[in-house]
Amino acid sequence: MKTLSLGIMGMSPGNGHPYSWSAIFNGYNPEAMARCPFPVIPHYLGEQDPATMRLEGAAVTHIWTQDTKISHDIADASLIKNIVDQPTDMIGKVDAVILARDDGSNHLDMAKPFIEANVPILIDKPLTDREEDLRHFIRYYEQGRIIMSCSSVRFSPSVLELKHKNSIGRIFTASGVSPKYWRTYGIHLIESIHTVMGGGFQSVRNIGEGRKEIVHLRYPDGRHAVLQTFAEISAGNLFFYGEKGCQAVGDKNSFQEFKNMLAHFVEYLRTGRPPFDWRETVELARVVIAGDKSLAEGGRVVSLDEIAANT
């Protein structure tokens, strides 16, 4: 079986995905990885069994970030052979690319050259936080382009356990808190809710303020979720409440969910079968956009039907 060649691109503040995701494919140099500016990454990589931590069948062979020094540091740590001057230099040299930035407003511009060159792409969450960009992504997907985007929490062991081994009965509501920002980290909470409780959100209302957002999601059948993102906190949690009790989800570190997500992307590349319905990705992006729109409009209840309805 051919080893797939992957490119990885982008680096955004507070996000070390190029280090960890590349290491999951390639392995890593412990001495160089120890200098990673995200100490949690060498810590959880060091907890893995070197014999089993790597994904087989693919390797990250090319990297681009906005800073050549950062590209060299990641390449040294995660054993990437080629550093390119421009992201488009990877076209024709890789089988697929991973866009590892988490700022959705930049995703379309960065992904567009690859999508139009028919290079399959994995885009870090959220797919986008811009309504017009979402329309573009929908059109590309409808043209048959291979695009995968999600929060890795949909593959979190604790989230999947609750989804498949629910001991709390019918879930009526959920409550979650996350550090950072709605536009970048709210998707982790939203995608966990969607994975466990299903989709079909009716409306979104954001009654918070910038850097302290409080968002109410409503289902048509009366179920709810209240999600909060606070820039100044360093940790969060998510609880589900059912007729027989409540249950928290959350894992010690992100290694296994990252590995699961990347494995599904490789399987998608090999089989052409997406690991989940594209309509889920679109709905989740709509929730992110609706939450931002509600905040901008003084906490108005925004129906999901309003967002990117005309493609």
Residues near 309 by Cβ (< 8 Å), separated by ≥ 6? none
Same domain, 130 and 206: no
Same domain membership, residue 136 and residue 109: yes
Residues 104 and 126 in one domain: yes
3-class secondary-structure state, position 174: strand
Answer yes or no: do 132 and 231 share one domain. Answer: no
Instruction: Please report whether residue 203 resides in a domain.
Output: yes
Omega prior to 39 cis, within 30 of 0: no
CB atoms within 10 A of CB 206: 26
Contacts of 101 (CB under 8 A, 6+ apart): 9, 10, 11, 12, 15, 107, 110, 124
Question: Is there a domain that residue 311 lies in?
Answer: no
For residues 19 and 40, state if they share a domain. yes
Position 266 in a domain: yes
Q: What is the maximum span of the chain, computed from C-alpha positions, in angstroms?
A: 56
One domain for residues 188 and 272: no
Kindly state whether residues 237 and 264 are assigned to the same domain. no
**Are 281 and 127 a contacting pair, CB within 8 Å?**
yes
149 and 173 inside one domain: no
Query: Residue 90 sits in a domain of what CATH number?
Result: 3.40.50.720
Do residues 60 and 133 both lie within one domain? Answer: yes
β strands within the chain, DSSP E = 4-9, 58-64, 82-83, 96-99, 121-124, 147-150, 171-179, 203-206, 212-218, 224-230, 237-242, 245-249, 302-303
What tens-digit pLDDT sequence spans the chain (311 residues)? Answer: 789 999 999 888 888 999 999 999 999 999 999 999 999 999 999 999 988 999 999 999 999 999 999 999 999 999 999 999 999 999 999 999 999 998 999 999 999 999 999 999 999 999 999 999 999 999 999 999 999 999 999 999 999 999 999 999 999 999 999 999 999 999 999 999 999 999 999 999 999 998 999 999 999 999 999 999 999 999 999 999 999 999 999 988 899 999 999 999 999 999 999 999 999 999 999 999 999 999 999 999 999 999 987 55
For residues 136 and 176, membership in a common domain is answered with no
* Number of separate domains in the chain: 2
Which CATH number covers residue 234?
3.30.360.10
Domain that holds residue 129: 4-153+255-276
Give me the pLDDT at residue 93, please: 98
- Confidence at residue 310, expressed as pLDDT on a 0 to 100 scale: 58
Are the beta carbons of 194 and 284 closer than 8 angstroms? yes
Whether residue 281 is contained in a domain is answered as no
pTM of the model: 0.95
297 and 166 in a common domain: yes
- Tell me how far apart the alpha carbons of residues 16 and 288 are, in angstroms, rounded to a whole number: 22
